Amino acid sequence: MINPFRKGILFGTVVSAIVAVAGIVVIFVLITAYITAADTQKFFTKHLDELLDTVESTASVACFSKINSWQQSLLPACSRTTGWQALS
């Protein structure tokens, strides 16, 4: 079998350049995917905490209004603290 790199210096150079560029592209794609995943996890955690704070404040405000018994049973599950239950 004939070695394709023996055909000429131009063929070997072109193949080597294509392989090098493909390798660099793969490395940059992996780095970008890693950074994006880390940022997504950080922002997800931040927004989830903000959502939980909103739900908790809504539940604490709801205890001051007249609410049904089924709504009252849902509020402790949504609240992180139970101090507001004494107010209702």
Query: What SS3 string covers the chain?
Result: CCCHHHCCHHHHHHHHHHHHHHHHHHHHHHHHHHHHHHHHHHHHHHHHHHHHHHHHHHHHHHCCCCCCHHHHHHHHHHCCCCHHHHHC
Give the model confidence (pLDDT) of 59-78 as tens digits: 777 666 655 555 556 656 55
Domain spans, the chain: 8-83
Q: Which pLDDT tens digit goes with each residue over 8-52?
A: 788 878 888 999 999 999 999 999 999 999 888 888 888 888 888
Position 88 scores a pLDDT of 44
